[in-house]
Chains A and B, each alone.
Chain A
């Protein structure tokens, strides 16, 4: 038997498209500009993507930051499986890769990057993970989609799209690096899940 993997399968045919490839590209460009504006440049920035889809998003944002400011921003990945608060509800999960930039995060401005912000528990786990790794000067959060229904006092600093949803709906993010296209779709209950991590098994009534 294997541990629970975090790769979802394809959305159903009834899924409604919300963002297409060019929408996603524009959103990421805007986020990159907002990051530069808010932090007055790219100095001391470190982008940490939360697996799985936060990682390619972080790389894309880093590429845009380099285009804008001309400096390369360190990118890494931060697996938060070990910090989840719902481990006991499922069989043991496969760990994802944690790959931190060589210079670490002490004193840096860490921008966490994830695809969907839902209950906020993933972000909470990421904050715990970050504080065990080092002491950044600040932590900010960038997400492609904010679907509401927060269960903790967490908010994103940079949002690609605000997407009000009902709990019976599920949000599906596909990225070329991992899937066959770039798209964000919205499906109904019974569609396969969102990603393993945020909100646990969202869309099937079970929330974190």
Chain B
């Protein structure tokens, strides 16, 4: 039985639906005067953040606290890590402190995987974003948001409960370096949706034909066809690697602006994992338009993370994830 959430590829359809349904119930907690339940009382959740990310860290912290878990925040800056302590020693320290779950955000792909499998600690490992590899809770909250808004447009599957069947989602931007894109491609496919990736050729990974999605180098033809568009953040550092010539050209060819919004269907949603570069990949008017669910994504993040913590930690064994293959 899997103890960790490292990648959305580890979740089958029933696991993913379980997370979404659980999050649905837990979302109501936010509407109560006392936004807390005693479920994880006595458990310790450590936020091990090697990369700065106030938004995600606060979201996990809120999720853990609403379940009455104790939260310890460990951020790289100013800690022993910045003085050169290795991942291994940090893990051994956390194990000695009795962490039940470690939420890891790291700039290097595979770091949570190492923590989960290297015998340094016994805790459940939740990947909060590793390098350019995966960000599973982001994909889960994106799916949760999609389901909430587009429930009426979902097709009935051949068997089982409907998920996101038949929906078409475009993911636009720096796919090559995006962990959000990778996690979303796996999860959207698992939940029955269709994905189109849109990016300049320099920002698409090699051998991407093996991924179950369509590709397009042009944004305009794709927009009328989709139920939602997910804009990815573009880092200006990418210009140093000659991935695209200038911010202006990128924005002109791939940015979501008012004109492009009008190409989209009435019901289609605008999403962004944040933080946004207003004016680069998304214009201010697109970000603030009525179809934008960007703020709601953040709110849904807490419910989804509560669901993940609950399902991994509350019982005698976790409720999600199947056996991993041997490395």
Interfacial residues, chain A to chain B (CB-CB below 8 A): 1-4, 79, 82-83, 87-98, 128-129, 131-134
Contacts and interface: CB of A to CB of B under 8 A. Distances in A.
Nearest to B15: A1
Contact of A82 (B37, B316, B317, B320): B37
Contact of B34 (A2, A79, A93, A132): A132
Contact of A94 (B18, B38, B67): B18
Interface string B297-327: 0000000000000111111111111100000
Interface of B: 1, 14-15, 18, 21-22, 25-26, 28, 32-34, 36-39, 67, 310-322
A168 B33 CA distance: 42
A130 to B, nearest CB: 11
Contact of B18 (A2, A82, A83, A98): A2
B314 A83 contact: no
A87 B39 contact: yes
A89 B37 contact: no
Given A82-B37, A94-B18, A132-B36, A1 B25 contact: no
Given A3-B311, A98-B25, A132-B32, A92 B319 contact: yes
Nearest to B32: A133
Interface centre among B15, B25, B26, B321 (most CB of A within 10 A): B25
Nearest to B320: A1
A95 to B, nearest CB: 4
Interface centre among B14, B21, B316 (most CB of A within 10 A): B316
Nearest to B12: A1
B319 A87 contact: no
B316 A88 contact: yes
Nearest to B25: A95
